[in-house]
Amino acid sequence: MTGSSGSRPAAFAVWALTRSLLLLCVVKVITLPGPDVTSDVSVIYHGWYDVLRSGSYPQSDVTWQYPPVAALSILSPALLPFLDYASAFFVLAFLCDALVLGLLLYAGRSAARRTAGAWVWVAGVPLLGTTAYARYDVMVTAVAVAALLAGVRHPRVLGALAAFGALLKVWPVLLLAGTARGRRTRLAWTTAAGVALGLLVLCTAAAPGALAFLGFQRDRGTEVESLGALVFHVARQFGWQGRVELHYGSLEFLGPHVPLVSTLALGLSVAAFGWLLVWRLRARTFGVSTTADAAFTAVLLFTTTSRVISPQYMLWLVGLAAVCLVFRESRMAWPAALVLVATGVTQLEFPLGFIHVVTSDATGLTLMFLRNGLLVAASLLACARLWRDTVPGPSSDGASTDDVPAAGDGGSAAPPLSRAGSPDTRASAP
Bridge partners of 244, per DSSP, are: 253
| 357 in Cβ contact with 265 (< 8 Å) | no
Rounded to an integer, what distance in angstroms lies between the CA atom of residue 64 and that of residue 146?
26
Q: Which amino acid appears at position 297 of this protein? A: T
User: Which residues neighbour 203 within 8 Å (Cβ) at sequence distance 6 or greater?
Assistant: 68, 69, 71, 167, 210
What pLDDT, in 10s, does the model give residues 218-245?
667 899 999 999 999 999 999 999 999 9
Rounded to an integer, what distance in angstroms lies between the CA atom of residue 249 and that of residue 233?
20
Q: What is the pLDDT of residue 219?
A: 65
- Backbone torsion region of residue 175, taken as left when φ is above 0, otherwise alpha when ψ lies between -120 and 50, otherwise beta: alpha
| 304 in Cβ contact with 326 (< 8 Å) | no
Q: Is the pLDDT of residue 79 over 50?
A: yes
Phi first, then psi: give them for residue 247, nearest 5 degrees.
Answer: -145, 120
Work out the pLDDT band at 215, boundaries 50, 70, 90: confident
Work out the pLDDT band at 414, boundaries 50, 70, 90: very low
Could you tell me which of 386, 404, 175 has the C-alpha nearest to residue 283? 386
Higher pLDDT, 248 or 336: 336
Q: What is the CA radius of gyration of the chain?
A: 21
Q: What is the pLDDT of residue 399?
A: 45
Q: What is the pLDDT of residue 430?
A: 28
CA within 13 Å, CB half, 79: 13
**CA distance readout (Å), 109 to 112, 121, 326, 418, 428:** 8, 16, 10, 22, 14
Quote the mean pLDDT of the chain.
Answer: 90
Instruction: Determine which of 193-207, 234-248, 382-396, 408-422 has the lowest per-residue pLDDT on average.
Output: 408-422
Work out the pLDDT band at 142, boundaries 50, 70, 90: very high
User: Which residues neighbour 174 within 8 Å (Cβ) at sequence distance 6 or greater?
Assistant: 295, 298, 299, 302
Q: What is the pLDDT of residue 218?
A: 64
SS3 112: coil
Could you tell me which of 214, 231, 213 has the C-alpha nearest to residue 222? 231
- Average pLDDT on 99-112 reads 91
Higher pLDDT, 72 or 109: 72
Rounded to an integer, what distance in angstroms lies between the CA atom of residue 153 and that of residue 17?
33
What pLDDT, in 10s, does the model give residues 293-307?
999 999 999 999 999
Instruction: Determine which of 52-61, 102-111, 364-373, 415-424 has the lowest per-residue pLDDT on average.
Output: 415-424
- Average pLDDT on 90-113 reads 94
Q: Is the pLDDT of residue 130 over 60?
A: yes
User: Which residues neighbour 214 within 8 Å (Cβ) at sequence distance 6 or greater?
Assistant: none
Bridge partners of 417, per DSSP, are: 423
Q: Is the pLDDT of residue 400 over 50?
A: no
* Burial class of residue 309, CB neighbours in 10 A (0-12, 13-18, 19+): buried
Percent of the chain with pLDDT over 70: 89
Rounded to an integer, what distance in angstroms lies between the CA atom of residue 69 and that of residue 383?
31
Rounded to an integer, what distance in angstroms lies between the CA atom of residue 280 and that of residue 159?
17
Angle made by CA atoms 118, 120, 125, in degrees to the nearest 5: 105
pTM above 0.85, yes or no: yes
**CA distance readout (Å), 71 to 74, 129, 329:** 5, 24, 38
Sequential DSSP letters for 254-296:
ESTTHHHHHHHHHHHHHHHHHHHHHHHHH-----TTHHHHHHH
Q: Is the pLDDT of residue 12 over 50?
A: yes
